[in-house]
Amino acid sequence: MVINKFALFLVIGAVITGIFWLAYKIFFKKAHQESMINNQQPSALHTWFDGIGGLFPVIAIVLIFRSFIFEPFQIPSGSMMRTLLVGDFLLVNKFSYGIKNPVTNANWIDVSDPKRGDIVVFKAPLEPEKDFIKRVIGLPGERVMYNYETKELKILPACMKGASEIAPVGCKLIDISYSEIKESQFYSVDNSQAILEIPEGESNPIGIKGVRLLERTETINGRTNTILLDPSRRDDFRAYVSSTWAEDYSREFTVPKDSYFVMGDNRDHSSDGRFFGFVPKENLVGKAVFIWISFERLPDEWPTGIRFSRIGMIE
């Protein structure tokens, strides 16, 4: 079990200040007010209890808002480009999938299940002290096939059992289509984690060593998003976990019950379900829903501007 240290700090702060707030209301408030009315100096004890207790409403509101309504989240890497960029600051809906213990993330009340295409924040399966953000691709019981040559997906629904790829009566197939590949506005810099945004139509305006990323749309059951591809990279399928051979150049991931298969939109620069396995529902933190500010910056560097055009709902 991983403890959310900031949430624990808020809980402890709320308890301590709450005790001072309650004690002031019960024992000291009347005497304190009388001193003020009579233009007398209130006692130091009254002042201390009033000051510390006065922090209780603020801490309580922050704790409730952050734990059960919305939590701020910063995009640390380019794994979800072009949907989310480094420097984006998000609001994560904490009650989308359930109400959880703010300290341990243990589920208290189920609300709903993630839908395919949702962008979710979760505790990384192999590093639960870290929060990751990816897109939900595979749902419980489904078989997700990823071709590491064509970099395309094929998903068989849970109602298709065994090795057969013929859908039984009443079983709805999952439709996946792709657009033509074209140049993107992003450039992967060699020997670094930086991915720079460049004008369309320019091959290498920066004059540095690197690769221009490609892009295409991926539509799954009518829901479309843009993915980035690096023509210079191909996955080492030996690093894939929880997978089996499906067909030529494809690996199959069978999603367990109450778990999800997630991937980054920047497919060749994303540590996701291919490499760390499935995300249990209990690891989910919430659904990313809104960009409230976006700074123009590279990883580990100071912001150079604000991208006002990016502020708004996340699709």
Per-residue pLDDT at 175: 94
What's the pTM? Answer: 0.89
Is 115 annotated as catalytic?
no
In this predicted structure, what is the pLDDT of residue 204?
Answer: 59
If you search the block for the tokens 């020997």, which residue do you land on? 191
pLDDT at 240: 92
SS3 sequence, 189-256?
Answer: ECCCCCEEECCCCCCCCCCCCEEEEEEEEEEECCEEEEEEECCCCCCCHHHCCCCEEEECCEEEEECC
Cβ proximity of 41 and 8 under 8 Å = no
Instruction: Note if 79 is an active site residue.
Output: yes
For the four alpha carbons of 271, 186, 135 and 255, in that order, the dihedral sign comes to: negative
Among 288, 298, 292, 287, smallest CA distance to 312 is for 292
Contact 133, 287 (CB under 8 A): no
Residue 285 has phi, psi (to 5 degrees) of -95, -40
DSSP category for residue 115: -
Structure tokens at 161: 């059992």
- Kindly name the residue from 134, 151, 188, 242 that is annotated as catalytic: 134
For 233-261, b where at least 16 C-beta lie within 10 A, e where not — what string?
eebeeeebebbeebeeebbbbbbeeebbb
Element of type H or E holding 275:
helix 273-276
Phi and psi at 194, nearest 5°, equal -75, 135
Q: Which of 79, 96, 242, 294 is catalytic?
A: 79
Q: What is the pLDDT, as a whole number, of residue 162? A: 64
Q: Cα torsion for 51, 52, 56, 59, to the nearest 10°?
A: 110
Token pair of 163 as six digits: 């090795």
What does the pLDDT read at residue 267? 95
Give the C-alpha separation, 122 to 98, whole Å.
13
Superfamily of domain 75-313: Umud Fragment, subunit A (2.10.109.10)
Tell me what pLDDT residue 135 has. Answer: 98
pLDDT in tens, the chain (315 residues): 678 899 999 999 999 999 999 998 898 888 777 776 777 777 788 788 989 999 999 999 999 999 999 999 999 888 999 999 989 999 999 999 999 999 999 999 999 999 999 999 999 999 999 999 999 999 999 999 999 999 999 999 988 876 566 667 778 889 999 999 999 988 887 655 667 777 555 665 555 667 889 999 999 999 999 999 999 888 888 889 888 887 778 899 999 999 999 999 999 999 999 999 999 999 999 999 999 999 987 666 788 889 999 999 998
